[in-house]
């Protein structure tokens, strides 16, 4: 079976662990526990008729982009950048995160998860932001780790892109 490493990248409390938990275990918790180091989960998926084992590296989210440990990124075949749609600064920070990932592992398939879309009344992503985001080659998904909206779609799109069948 093909194995592909995906790195979940984002600053703290954007919902990286919750997205993985929703995707792998179909569960959500409101309780926030920060990840220390990297938590690794596996999830087999099918892309067309091909079995792909996704290795999900949930990287510790720190205060700033400069704190992301690049040693954890090595060998990533895909990246999911996670921003919290209710915290505008995290949307801005994904550009720097992308630069860091690109410098470390080169061009790889990428997804941007604008997370916490269930909190629509607190949403801070503007039309201008979306226009800026659209100028980058990542595929943008509005996600909610709480309701599951967009979660399967984001991971499956990335899986397909990693095996060359988007």
Partner 1 sequence: MIELRVRGRTDRGLVREENEDHYFIGILRKSVDVIETNLEVQDAVRELGRLDAHLLVVADGVGGVSGGRRASQSAVFSLATFIGRTAACHYDPNVQQENEFLERLEHAIRYAHEVVSSLSTPGRGPATTLTMAMIIGRRVYIAHVGDSRAYVRSRGRLRQITRDQTMAAMLEDEGVDTKAAARLHHVLASAVGAMEMTPTIGLIDLDPGDVLLLCTDGLTKHVPDEAIAEMLASSPDPGPICDRLVEAALDGGGSDNVTVVVARADA
> What's the CA angle centered on 126, arms 123 and 131, to 5 degrees?
140
Using CB under 8 A as the binding rule, whether residue 38 contacts partner 1 is answered as yes
Distances, alpha carbon 13 to alpha carbons 3, 32, 38, in Å: 28, 8, 15
Query: CB of 20 within 8 A of CB of 8?
Result: yes
Residue 69 is a binding residue for partner 1 (CB under 8 A): yes
The answer to whether 26 contacts partner 1 (rule: CB under 8 A) is no
Q: Within 10 A of 107 (CB to CB), how many other CB atoms are there?
A: 8
Please select the residue that binds partner 1; options are 26, 75, 92, 130, rule is CB under 8 A.
75
User: Can you tell me the distance from the alpha carbon of 30 to that of 130, in angstroms, rounded to the nearest whole number?
Assistant: 27
Is 49 one of the binding residues for partner 1 (CB under 8 A)?
no
33 makes contact with partner 1 (CB under 8 A): yes
- The CB-of-72 to partner 1 minimum distance in angstroms stands at 8
* Region binding partner 1 by CB under 8 A among candidate stretches 25-33, 95-103, 129-137, 142-150: 25-33
Phi, psi of 44 (to 5 degrees): -80, 135
122 is an interface residue for partner 1 by CB under 8 A: no
Residue 3 in contact with partner 1, rule: CB under 8 A: yes
66 touches partner 1 (CB under 8 A): no
């Amino acid at each position: 079976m093909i194995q592909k490493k995906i790195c979940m990248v984002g600053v703290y409390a954007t919902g990286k662990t919750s997205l993985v938990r929703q995707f792998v275990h179909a569960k959500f918790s409101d309780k926030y526990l920060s990840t220390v180091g990297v938590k690794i989960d596996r999830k087999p998926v099918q892309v067309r008729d091909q079995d792909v084992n996704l290795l999900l590296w949930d990287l510790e989210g720190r205060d700033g982009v400069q704190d992301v440990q690049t040693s954890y990124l090595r060998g990533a075949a895909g990246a999911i950048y996670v921003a919290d749609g209710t915290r505008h600064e995290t949307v801005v920070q994904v550009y720097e995160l992308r630069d860091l990932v690109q410098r470390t592992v080169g061009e790889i398939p990428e997804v941007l998860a604008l997370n916490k879309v269930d909190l629509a009344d607190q949403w801070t992503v503007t039309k201008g932001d979306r226009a800026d985001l659209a100028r980058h080659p990542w595929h943008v998904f509005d996600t909610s780790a709480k309701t599951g909206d967009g979660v399967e779609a984001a991971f499956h799109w990335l899986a397909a892109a990693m095996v060359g069948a988007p």
